[in-house]
C-alpha cells in the first residue's frame, strides 16, 4: 500500500466512524451541541458514509482527478467549519464548537497529507 492509499484509508475510516457515530447517537450529539434539530446529525452521518464509500473506491483506482475531488471536499469541510465557528450561525454550545474545531483540524491534516501524497505519486 503506497502513501496515497494509506492517507485515503485513514480518511475513509475517520469519515466512516464519524458517520456511524452521528447516525447512532444523533440525539445525544444534538444535546451536546445544544441544538433542537437533531435531524442534521444523521443526515451528515449518511453523507459521511457515502463519502467513505467513494474514498474506498479511489483507494484501489487512484484516479488523480477523483482523489483531487476528495481533497477539495476535505478543504471545503474545513472552510465550512470555520464559517460556522466565526459566524456562530447556529448558536452551537462551546463544547460543540470545540468538537467542530478539533474535527476541522483533523480533516485539514488529512487533506494536506492526501495532497502531498498525490503530488509525490504523480512524479
> Could you list the pLDDT tens digit for every one of the 123 residues in the chain?
899 999 999 999 999 999 999 999 999 999 999 999 999 999 999 999 999 999 999 999 999 999 999 999 999 999 999 999 999 989 999 999 999 999 999 999 999 999 999 999 865
Nearest to 55 by CA among 85, 19, 97: 19
Please, is 61 exposed, middle or buried when counting C-beta atoms within 10 Å of its C-beta (0-12, 13-18, 19+)? exposed
Cα-Cα-Cα-Cα dihedral sign, residues 117, 6, 12, 96: negative
- Contact of 52 with 22, CB cutoff 8 Å: no
Is the CB of residue 59 less than 8 Å from the CB of residue 7? Answer: no
Amino acid at each position: 500500500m503506497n502513501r496515497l492509499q494509506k492517507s485515503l484509508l485513514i480518511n475513509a475510516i475517520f469519515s466512516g466512524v464519524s458517520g456511524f457515530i452521528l447516525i447512532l447517537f444523533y440525539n445525544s450529539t444534538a444535546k451536546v451541541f445544544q441544538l433542537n434539530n437533531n435531524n442534521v446529525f444523521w443526515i451528515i452521518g449518511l453523507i459521511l458514509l457515502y463519502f467513505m464509500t467513494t474514498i474506498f473506491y479511489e483507494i484501489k483506482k487512484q484516479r488523480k482527478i477523483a482523489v483531487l475531488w476528495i481533497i477539495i471536499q476535505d478543504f471545503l469541510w474545513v472552510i465550512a467549519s470555520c464559517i460556522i465557528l466565526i459566524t456562530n450561525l447556529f448558536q452551537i454550545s462551546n463544547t460543540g464548537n470545540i468538537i467542530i474545531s478539533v474535527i476541522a483540524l483533523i480533516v485539514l491534516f488529512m487533506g494536506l497529507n492526501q495532497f502531498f501524497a498525490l503530488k509525490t505519486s504523480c512524479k
